[in-house]
Structure 1
Amino acid sequence: MTGRRPTPQGRAARLRLRHGLHVARRGADLLDRKLQVLLERHGRLQQDAERAEAQWRERWTEAQTWLLRGLLVSGEGGPAAAAVAGRADVVVEWTVSMGVRHPSGASCTDAIRAPYEPAPGNTALAHAEGAYREAVRAAAAYAAHRTAARMVEEEAARTRRRVRALRRHWIPRLTAELAAVEQAVEQTEHEDAVRRRWAADRTGGTGDGRYG
């Protein structure tokens, strides 16, 4: 087990500790402000994610409803026959908040139906196709908002741990070391002052005896 490091001594050490303590307190204050901004940002992102989730669930339910209606009209083979072979393309947009890079949104490009691919066999399936396109867009937006909220929350947790380490460990240790150094410096200065007075008194006493 590693023991506590020895406390540095001397005026130079006192200056270094004072500077280190100032930097640590300044850093803790800055991290505190960063934490507050991150928490506020996370709150807004969390609200956005909740709204996006609600919208996605609504779009998904609507699409499922239209699909069920289409199945009732055309049978189970209807949706498969009208399915588009291509896939939707989702592009995630990014931004930076307080040093945290996170998604800011997502854009979605629908799959294009080829000329040779058959169109939906009935109106319900056509509505279902459009509803599923909207559901995919809503799902992409929800994923972007949820990921952004999670990434900002993780950075807030890291910042909180750093603030806690500074205020509970680093700053108290520097404060204790500075107090010990200042006491040692004061003791040294006091002893020097006593020795100077003793030397001055001794010099004066020798002079009186020689010429008395």
Structure 2
Amino acid sequence: MSGRRVPPGRAGRLRLRLRLDTALRGADVLERKLLFLLERERAMRQAEEDAARLWASRLHEAETWLLRGMLLSGEQALAQAPAAGRATAEITYTTTMGVRHPAGVTCAPAARSPDDLPPRNTALARAETVYRDVVRAAADYAAAHEALRLVAAEIRRTRQRVRALRHHWIPRLSEELAAAEQSLEQTEHEESVRRRWASAPTEPTGAATSHT
């Protein structure tokens, strides 16, 4: 059954038709939503890949400068470096087809205190600058990754709902509607036959008397 008791007769047939029409419209709407989300997912996946490459590139550059600085001043140069502060990140959100997800991020890496000693050489100074870029790139990647994850999850849910409608509810409602129409047609046919019988002229009950 469709989950709710359907009254017999024309009222039941009408209710099934309404349910079927609603299910068909719902499936169409969900399929359009799915196509839009798939297009957005492709763009988001590309953005995530670009962010990941930029993050890796910045990190490689920073590590290269750090290695150069350590070769120039030794590992003790890092031990003498001031303790790093905390970076801050502010995420902005948007909504795509009902899915709230990150749209971007503003990141402020930890700033150097005026009282801190400068890096021991230019390579370490460059490494410090590039590591700030690493933090920004990492924040951009995290926002892109989360946006993609949320949209991909909505795509999976939408696909499940479309499959449930196309492969379960719509066929079931169609079968119930066909059965209801067949039953109603049979009932109307039987009523028509009874009406014809009721309106047919009756034969006389007594036989005619013959006279000689």
Asked whether the two chains share a fold, i.e. TM above 0.5, the reply is yes
Is residue 69–residue 121 contact of structure 2 (8 Å, CA) maintained in 1? Answer: yes
| Offset at residue 155 of structure 1 (A) | 0.3
Are 2:158 and 1:170 equivalent residues in the alignment? no
Give deviations 1:153-209, integer Å, cap 9, x for gaps. 1100100010000000000000000000001110111111000000000xx225x77
1:106 aligned onto 2:105: yes
Whichever residue aligns with residue 99 of structure 2, its letter is: V
1:126 Cα deviation from its structure 2 partner: 0.4
2:16–2:173 contact (8 Å) kept in structure 1: yes
> Going by fraction, where is helix more abundant, 1 or 2?
1
Match of 1:182 in 2: 181
2:202 to 194, 197, 205: 205
Question: Paired residue for 1:92?
Answer: 91
How many residues align? The count is 206
Q: Which residue of 2 aligns with 1:131?
A: 130
Q: 1:175 to 1:8 in 2, by over 3 A?
A: farther
Q: What TM-score do you get using the length of structure 2 for normalisation?
A: 0.91
* RMSD of aligned residue pairs (Cα, Å): 2.0
Q: Contact 1:38–1:98 at 8 Å: present in 2 too?
A: yes
In structure 1, the partner of 2:194 is 195
Distance 2:202 2:149 in 1: 80
Q: Which SS does the other structure have where 1:26 is aligned?
A: helix
For the residue of structure 2 that corresponds to 1:205, the secondary structure is coil
Quickly say closer, same or farther: Cα 1:8–1:180, change in 2 above 3 A. farther
Contact 1:7 1:181 in 2 (8 A): no
* 1:88-144 per-position Cα deviation (integer Å, ceiling 9, x unaligned): 111111111010011111111121222222111110010000000001101110111
Pairwise mapping of residues 39-188 of structure 1 onto structure 2 (< 5 A)? 39-188=38-187
In 2, the alpha carbon distance for the partners of 1:80 and 1:25 equals 68
Check whether the contact 1:84–1:113 (CA below 8 A) recurs between aligned residues: no
Structure 1 residue ranges without an equivalent (≥5) = none
- 2:157, 2:61 → 1: CA distance? 40
The one-letter code of the counterpart of 1:89 is: T
Amino acid at match of 1:46: R
Separation (CA, whole Å) in 2 of partners of 1:78 and 1:47: 39
